[in-house]
A and B are shown apart, each in its own frame.
Chain A
C-alpha cells in the first residue's frame, strides 16, 4: 500500500502503526515445532574474554585451577562490561588466544576449561526470592555479576539499561519476542516452554525500572507463543499492566527502533536511546536469564541455540553451555563433514559467515546454521551494475536511499555519505536482500562506517597532539619570558612572577592531558 495512504490510515486509527519498508523473507523456521533439549556436556569449553559489547574481561583463574559451574573466572574491566563464568566444573587447561565467531576468523584471549564430568555448581550466590522488596540497585548488581547481556544477539550488558534515571523515567517495558530472523526459533521455543520464567523476568525488570506498563511483542507467525504467554499472564496477578501485542510478520520487525514505532507510533530520535522516549526493550531470552540470575542465583552459563540450516541433518533447539565448541554441537545433530557447507553464526540476515566450526558458542549465539554451499544465497553472489530500481530504498526501514549511499561509500565520498545519514543504517540487510543486481550494499556501508570512524580517531589523535605541542610551545615561551623577566629585574618582584608561571604551566599541562584522554574514547 502506498506509504501516504498507510500513514493516513494510521493517523485515523484505522490501522496499527507499521514501520516503513521491510521485507518478507521465507522464514524456514524448521525448529518451530521442536521442543528444546539439552546439548550433552562437551569435554572442553572455550570462554573468550569478551562475549558482550564493551570492554574485555581479565582472567581471575590460572592454568591448573579447578573451577565450578557458575564460578566467576574473569572480571569485567570498565563499566560497559560483564564478567565471565565457568559453564561447568573442571580444570583450566590453557589461557590463550582462540578463534571467536567472527567473519574474519580473528582470535581473542580465552580461558579453556576441561570438564570433569561432575558438572558441580558454585553455590556461593544466594537466590533473591523476595525480589519485589529488594532494592533495584541490588538486583542490578546481580544482573551485572551474573554476566547478563542482551541475548537477542546484540549482547549489550543488560544491567546498564536496567536503571532508574529521574530525567528519563521508563514508562513502558517492551519485551521483544519478535524473532524476525529467518530460521531462528529460540525465542519462539522459550515463550512456549518457559512463559512463566519469562514473565517473572519481565516483572523483575518492571520492578527495577519502576513501571507497571509492559508490552510483550510477538510476530503473528508465532500465535501459539502469544497464546502461551497470554495464558501464563492470565494466571498471574502481578502483571496487570502487561499485554501481548501481535504484530504482522515483517523483517526487521524485531529491530528495537522499528519495533517501538510499530507499537507506539513514536520514533526514537536520531542519536538517542529508547529510554529517552520512556521505553526499555529487552529480549525474552534476556528476561528469562534475569529471572534465573535473580531467583535461582544462576549466572549466565547456558543459552538456547537454534541449530538448523538446509545442510543440517537434524535441526534442533538446544540448551548449550556457553563455551561449547560449535563443531561439538553440530556433531550432536549429525553434522561432521563441513565440506561444501557454509556456517552462519546467528540468522541469515544479520548473522556472520564463519570460516570454520572451531569456535565456541558465545552469549550472542542465537543460531548456528549450516547452509549448503551450492544453494547459498540462491546463487545471487555476482555483483552487477546498479540500475537504480529503488527497491532498496523501498525496503529500507530507516528511510535511507541505499543505492546512493553505497555509491558514496564505494567511491570514498564519506562526508557525503554522512550527510546522507549513513550512520542511521541499522545494517538489517533488507536492501541487499531485494537488490536485483546482487550488490552487497550493507558491506559498503560497513566499509564506509569503518573508514569514517578511523578518520575520526586519526583526526582526534592529531588534534590532541596539536594541542599538546601548542601547550608545550606556550610553556617554553612563558618560561623564556619569565627567565628574561627574572634576569631584567633581579632585585624586585621575582618571586610572584615565578609563582604565576608555575600556575599557568600546570593549567597548560592539564589541558593537554585532557585532550589526550579524549582521544582514547
Chain B
C-alpha cells in the first residue's frame, strides 16, 4: 500500500461518507413530514428517486471505468433524496426517474463526477423538469388530503395506482385534489390587480400552517419547522456554517420588509416570503451544497445575498411564482468569481487584495 510520506500523519476522522450521511439525516424531519402529508406517494417518490440516482451513478461509474465503491460516499443517495423532496406529490414515476438521470448525468457526471459540478445536481434536475413539464411540476396536491374522503393516500394500492398510472386511472379530476401554491396564487391574483393581503385572505393562508407544513408545495418544502430542525442540526454538526442560510434568508426578509412597507398591495410581507415555496429548503440544503457554493466565509455571505436578491426579485417581478431554485443555480455560476475575489486576508498581509 502506498502511504503518503508527507506530513501530517494524523487525521481528524471526518469523511465524505459521514458528511453526506449527516445531510441525509438532517433531511429526515422534512421527509417524515412529507410522508405524514402525502402518505405513500411521498415514500414512493423518495424511494424511486434515490434508487434511480444510485443506479444511474453506478452505470456512469461503470462506463467511465471507475470503482463502484464511490457509490458508498452517499452523495448519489443524497441527490436522490433532495430531488424527491423538491417534487410535487403527484409527480409520475417516470418523471422521477428521468429527473434522477438528469441529476446524476447532466448535473454531476458530465463535469467529472463528485466535486466538479458547477450546479447543484438535484436543483438542476428540478429546473430541467420544471421547464420540460411545467404542468405536472406545478400541480400541487392538497396537503393533509392523506385522509380526506376524495382519496386516501395512506392506502398503498391507491398511491401505487396514482404513482404509476396517474390520477386518470382513479377517475379523479385533477381539480378535485389539487390547488395552487400560496406563491402561485398570490402571483396570479396580483396580475389580476388583487392586493396581496386580499389574495392571502381568499387563499385562507395561515402562517402557522406554513410554518408547520400544511400549505401546498413540493413534498419536502412545505414544513418550515422540519427544515429548520434539519438546518440547525447541520450547523451543530458543523456540516454547514451560518453564512449562507443567514445571509440568504436575511436578504429576502430585508428586501420584502422594505418593499412591502412601501407598497403593501404589490409586495408580499417578509414572513410570507420566508415561509413560502422552496426558500427554506434552498437556504439550508441547496445553496449550502459545498461543491457548488463558495469556500470562504465572506464569499458565502456574498453568495447568500446574491441568492436572496434574485429569489425576491424573481418572486416579485419574474414570470415564475417561485425563484429560489433559479437564484441558487444562477449564483452557482458566479462561485469561481466569488471565490477569487473574496478570499480571506492572509496572515501578515495588508487587507485589500490584488486580483
Contact = CB atoms under 8 A, between A and B. Distances in A.
Nearest to B354: A419
A279 to B, nearest CB: 13
B344 A401 contact: yes
Interface in B141-183: none
Interface in A414-446: 419-421, 424, 427, 429, 432-438, 440, 442-443, 446
B12 A446 contact: no
Contact of A349 (B7, B14, B343, B354): B7
A235 interface: no
Contacts, number: 156
Interface in B1-47: 1, 3-16, 18-19
B9 A348 contact: yes
A272 B348 contact: yes
Chain B residues touching A, majority SS: loop
A103 B9 contact: no
A380 B13 contact: yes
A462 interface: no
Interface string B246-286: 00000000000000000000000000000000000000000
Interface in A343-358: 344, 348-353
B114 A385 contact: yes
B9 A376 contact: yes
Contact of B296 (A350, A352, A380, A393): A393
B184 interface: no
B135 interface: no
Contacts of A371: 9
Contacts of B296: 390, 393, 401
A350 B7 contact: yes
B12 A433 contact: yes
Given A269-B348, A435-B14, A389 B19 contact: yes
A52 to B, nearest CB: 20
Which of B15, B116, B291, B345 has the largest number of chain A CB atoms within 10 A?
Answer: B15
A19 B15 CA distance: 26
Nearest to A447: B6
Contacts of B294: 390
B12 to A, nearest CB: 5
Given A348-B10, A389-B290, A270 B295 contact: no
A443 B6 contact: yes
Given A427-B7, A436-B19, A399 B347 contact: yes
Given A385-B115, A388-B295, A433 B10 contact: yes
Contacts of A401: 295-296, 339, 343-344
B242 A2 contact: yes
A434 B14 contact: yes
A258 B346 CA distance: 12
A380 B15 contact: yes
Contacts of A404: 295, 339
A398 B12 contact: no
A191 to B, nearest CB: 24
A465 to B, nearest CB: 32
A163 B94 CA distance: 78
B7 A429 contact: yes
A471 interface: no
Contacts of B5: 103-104, 353
A440 B8 CA distance: 8
B97 to A, nearest CB: 26
A429 B13 CA distance: 14
Interface string A360-400: 00000000000100001110110011111111011001111
A155 to B, nearest CB: 16
A342 B9 contact: yes
Contacts of B1: 381
A182 interface: yes
A182 B11 CA distance: 12
A381 B3 contact: yes
Category for how many chain B residues contact A: 35 or more
B8 A348 contact: yes
B287 to A, nearest CB: 13
A394 B299 CA distance: 13
A437 B296 CA distance: 18
A103 B6 contact: yes
Nearest to A383: B4
B195 interface: no
Interface centre among B1, B113, B347 (most CB of A within 10 A): B347
A438 B242 CA distance: 25
A81 interface: no
Given A401-B339, A424-B347, A424-B349, A387 B9 contact: no
Given A2-B242, A401-B344, A421 B339 contact: no
B297 interface: yes
Contacts of A419: 354
Interface string B77-117: 00000000000000000000000000000000000011110
Contacts of B19: 387, 389, 436
A387 B4 contact: no
Interface in A235-279: 257-258, 261, 267-272
A421 B346 contact: yes
A335 interface: no
Given A25-B12, A380-B15, A398-B347, A385 B113 contact: yes
Interface in B322-355: 339, 343-349, 354
B189 interface: no
A61 interface: no
B348 A349 contact: no
A442 B348 contact: no
Contacts of B295: 388, 390, 393, 401, 403-404
Contact of A433 (B8, B114, B291): B8
Contacts of B15: 380, 436, 438
B21 to A, nearest CB: 11
Contact of B291 (A388, A399, A424): A388
Most buried by B among A2, A267, A344, A391: A391
A128 interface: no
B8 A429 contact: yes
Interface in A36-90: none
Given A353-B3, A436-B14, A344 B297 contact: no
Interface in B186-213: none
A398 B346 contact: yes
B347 A397 contact: yes
Contacts of B75: 387
Nearest to A255: B347
Contacts of B114: 384-385, 387
Contacts of B354: 419
Nearest to A4: B297
Contact of B11 (A377, A394, A397): A377
30 contacts: A3-B297, A20-B347, A103-B5, A258-B347, A261-B347, A267-B347, A267-B348, A268-B348, A270-B346, A348-B9, A348-B10, A353-B5, A377-B4, A378-B11, A384-B16, A384-B114, A388-B290, A388-B293, A389-B290, A390-B241, A391-B14, A393-B344, A394-B297, A419-B354, A420-B343, A421-B349, A433-B12, A438-B11, A440-B6, A443-B4
Given A25-B10, A267-B347, A270-B346, 20 more contacts: A267-B348, A270-B347, A344-B9, A348-B10, A349-B8, A353-B3, A371-B9, A377-B10, A378-B11, A378-B13, A390-B296, A390-B300, A398-B347, A401-B296, A421-B349, A432-B11, A436-B15, A438-B15, A442-B7, A446-B6
Interface of A: 2-3, 19-20, 23, 25, 103-104, 182, 257-258, 261, 267-272, 342, 344, 348-353, 371, 376-378, 380-381, 384-391, 393-394, 397-401, 403-404, 419-421, 424, 427, 429, 432-438, 440, 442-443, 446
